[in-house]
Amino acid sequence: MNNLNGKVALVTGASRGIGAGIAKALAKAGAQVVVNYAGNQAAAEQVVQEIRGQGGEALAVQADVSKPDQVAHLFDQAIAHFGKVDILVNNAGVILYKLIQDTTEEDLTRILDVNVKGVFNTLREAATRLADHGSIINFSTSVTRLMLPTYGAYAASKAAVEQLTRIFAKEMGSRGINVNVVSPGPTRTELFLEGKSEETVARLASLSAFNRIGEPQDIARVVVFLASDEAKWISAQNIGANGAMA
């Protein structure tokens, strides 16, 4: 089950957190992995070394996914090194906690550039460069199913990703490529925990049926399944990985 031997996976935003967990899980399942990062080269190289230390193959490539030319370079490097790309995981993203009335033009531009344009740019590249019978897993959030103040711009950007996924799944089906979304709930990463008190984390954990927040491996397991041949009949779907939070 979930055997990815011979496949090449490109994971955006994979230097830490959920992205790093996904990169390692894909490698453990047999895939060769391209670890994309925007700025933290040391963290990306650490992920690569961990994968290689477990007997896997990985390559770190810098690219700002909001820039089309850098996304093209990302695919260039992946294909030059591994010969192809079978799996694209669009994990890179930024978050913003502001009331809509307090959200500036600059705030909105930044979140749309990374969360929407970033996904659009990689999908456009994948349309001609992803291998036939490949898989694409985009990332949204369980926040799109809730109505939480201060998440307006973030939820809007992720709702756009969900719709891009549905349309792209229809466009790519003739090539045997399935396209899905994973929507995590609160997940224990450095970025998520930053600035949150123990009480806040406990309150968020209580929203889950299991009275805990997610771990990166909880999300990574879902991605590995969606990237496998066992999931080929699943496409244009939004999988909530949130412990019944929403």
Question: What are phi and psi for residue 18, nearest 5 degrees?
Answer: -60, -40
Other CB atoms within 10 A of residue 156 CB: 16
**CATH numeric code, 8-189+216-240:** 3.40.50.720
Burial of 39 (0-12, 13-18, 19+ CB in 10 A): exposed
* Cα–Cα dist 216/222, whole Å: 10
Contact 86, 11 (CB under 8 A): no
Is the pLDDT assigned to residue 28 strictly greater than 60?
Answer: yes
Which pLDDT does position 2 carry in this prediction? 60
Q: Are strands 58-62 and 32-37 parallel, antiparallel or unpaired?
A: parallel
Question: Across residues 76-85, what is the average pLDDT?
Answer: 98
**Count of helix runs (H) and strand runs (E) in the chain:** 9, 7
Beta-bridge partners for 62: 37
Residue 163 — pLDDT band, cuts 50, 70, 90?
A: very high
The sign of the torsion formed by the CA atoms of 97, 179, 11, 201 equals: positive
Contact 15, 40 (CB under 8 A): yes
Catalytic choice (37, 97, 151, 154): 154
Beta-bridge partners for 165: none
Is the pLDDT assigned to residue 226 strictly greater than 90?
Answer: yes
Domain boundaries of the chain, sorted by first residue: 8-189+216-240
Q: pTM (2 decimals)?
A: 0.96
Annotate 104-141 with b (16+ C-beta within 10 A) or e (fewer).
Answer: eeeebeebbbbbbbbbbbbbebbeebbbeebbbbbbbb
Percent of the chain, pLDDT > 70? 99
Integer CA distances (angstroms), 66 to 54, 96, 177, 192, in order: 32, 17, 23, 22
Contact 152, 100 (CB under 8 A): yes
Is 37 annotated in the active site?
no
* Cα–Cα dist 213/216, whole Å: 10
Other CB atoms within 10 A of residue 142 CB: 23
Which pLDDT does position 235 carry in this prediction? 98
Give the tens place of pLDDT for each residue, 170-179. Answer: 999 999 999 9
